[in-house]
Structure 1
């Protein structure tokens, strides 16, 4: 949990570059085998995001194999490929942010969840571009506090009024603070409209449906990924039984820690992409036109 949200995608690419460096003194055949194993190990480290990670590591593997065959440095080509991926993400997330902020009122309050990384900074910049006055409420996101440590900090640094709430304050906050809109990124956007995100997203989406608050997901749909393909990662339960390395309950108490949950399409008002805002029920339309490589 050293890196969050889209951070692991960059780490995966740089991990492949490191693997290429570690295998530099091997024969060409051994280098390729080493990189194939690295690609598998990195992409399968977290079961819920295998699909996106494989796109990254296999692309790195492809350019590395070509470089090795042509007697070029695979470290350099993997590094460049990862850098180019970052540039694509920043460019396209800027477009996503533009479409998202167009949904915000001129003056209003927005609820977030966990840490969407690139989209958070792009969203803040776009709010200023569109001259809107937005206040944010950020659930803390136990047990690693990504909402408090990362999302709230980024938005505060960008100059927005930002309030952190605990994860069990969402319903009361919505009812008392006149929240206008809820938004989150997604670790997977399935083609059948289901989205996978940090655990807690489902309960917030249910609450927003109850209170009549629209929920907009940001990101690029995952082609060929369906709800039935999702495997929810379950992390070490000790991460729930401790906080800042201090035990918070008696020995023998058990814990349950799913890292993600799945939100159904009927709770989602729209999926905000770099092209436009799609209904979760017609995400196939995103791929009708040519789509630039993303990861």
Structure 2
């Protein structure tokens, strides 16, 4: 099997994202990593949906999980009549494709393709689960390969020895940054905002960079202005859960406030990702609101009295005036002329 995860940290090895085998999907539980390396085991595709919604996996992890979930769905209905199998796969594609609202357009591309492949396999008397599994692996290969181009462009922009501030867990771009830096012998110091309430920056991003030998420093979310003003940071970067064609980006809540602070002290903010051609402007971005109780708890421990309320928007939207550039697989673009991305040809299949 051809795989593009060579040289990636533990979290980005294919089996450690999500994996289908023998009627089961295993998903690494990132909510408790690195204290424990445990997998959530799903024997029904609805359990995969719940795992995504509960943030067992997040960032780009659900792109893999929904594909593997479709392989599981094909396994679940394999003993049904052909018509019933087809209907089952179509329903699974719809449900898995809408597991979370902000990135549902990306999930649906994966699940709809998986459903079509599975239906063709069923009609040909072939193993639909295997066909979908193999397609999901190829999807991961494409994503890792395309994002390597993004990582190469990004690392080329980072000054050697720079202090780089990150937000949340950018998944694939982190692995490709690491590979690009090692290949070009470029070194930089990483500062990770912790990322409340699930601490993805602390537990996931920090783990990847530290595992690969980069000087890695964790700061709490409310320390970012201090380290920016102190001069520790030369470069702020984050991935994006959505990039609309008018140059706005949606990313983990808190991304915008760091962009404002970076802009104030003259630190450039470079976003990485692939534009969403189906989102003409930022009004097409849906912000997910999550269960407020997740803010009132840290790693399963209640941190307030019962009377306290909370609010939890999962993402915020950063406008183009706060973004230095958007780094894509086709080069570096101003957020004000993102339409030029299309002048370099048709968008490659990414998901």
Q: TM-score range by the shorter chain?
A: over 0.9
Matched, 1:247 2:302: yes
| CA distance, structure 1, for counterparts of residue 144 and residue 300 of structure 2 | 35
Q: Which has the higher contact order (CA 8 A, sep 6+)?
A: 1
Compute the displacement of 1:5 (Å).
1.0
Partner in structure 1 of residue 338 of structure 2: 283
**SS in structure 1 at match of 2:218:** strand
Comparing 280-289 with 196-205, greater Cα deviation is found at 280-289
The correspondence for 2:186, drawn from 109, 114, 132, is: 132
From 269, 277, 284, the counterpart of 1:223: 277
Distance in 1, Cα, partners of 2:145 & 2:348? 11
Task: Please state whether the residue corresponding to 2:191 is helix, strand or coil.
Answer: strand
- Residues of 2 paired with 1:186 and 1:197: CA distance? 5
Which of 143, 166, 169 is the equivalent residue of 1:112?
166
Answer yes or no: is 1:19 the counterpart of 2:73.
yes
Query: Equivalents in 1 of 2:179, 2:285: separation in Å?
Result: 33
Alignment deviations for residues 160-207 of structure 1 (CA, whole Å, 9 cap, x no partner): 110000001100011114311100001111111111110000101111
Moved more, 124-133 or 141-150: 124-133
The one of 302, 326, 335 equivalent to 1:271 is 326
* Structure 2 residues without counterparts, runs of 5 or longer: 1-54
Task: Give the structure 2 partner of residue 174 of structure 1.
Answer: 228
Q: What corresponds to 1:209 in structure 2?
A: 263
Aligned to 2:239: 185
Aligned partners of 2:295 and 2:310 also within 8 Å: yes
Moved more, 122-131 or 205-214: 122-131
1:29-40 correspondence to structure 2 within 5 Å: 29-40=83-94
SS in 1 for 2:189: strand
Counterpart position of 2:36 = none
> How far apart are residue 10 of structure 1 and its match?
0.2
- Aligned residue-pair number: 295
**Aligned equivalents of 1:101 and 1:203: distance in 2?**
24
Partner residue in 2 for 1:292: 348
CA offset digits 1:219-270 (Å, max 9, x no partner)? 1111121311111111111111111222111111110001111111111111
CA distance in 1, matches of 2:118, 2:321: 43
Question: 1:286 offset after TM fit, Å?
Answer: 1.6
Give the match's secondary structure for 1:116.
coil
| Paired residues for 1:9-158 under 5 Å | 9-158=63-212
Cα separation, 1, equivalents of 2:259 and 2:62: 25
RMSD between aligned residues: 1.0
The structural deviation recorded for 1:73 is 1.5
State which of 208, 213, 218 in structure 2 corresponds to 1:164.
Answer: 218
**TM-score, normalization: structure 2?**
0.82
Query: What SS does the corresponding residue of 1:48 show, helix, strand or coil?
Result: coil
Shift of 1:280: 1.1
Match of 1:262 in 2: 317
Structure 1 residue 48, shift from structure 2 partner: 0.7
1:71-124 CA distance string (max 9 Å, x none): 222111111110100111111111111100111112210000000111101101
Contiguous gaps of at least 5 residues in structure 1: none
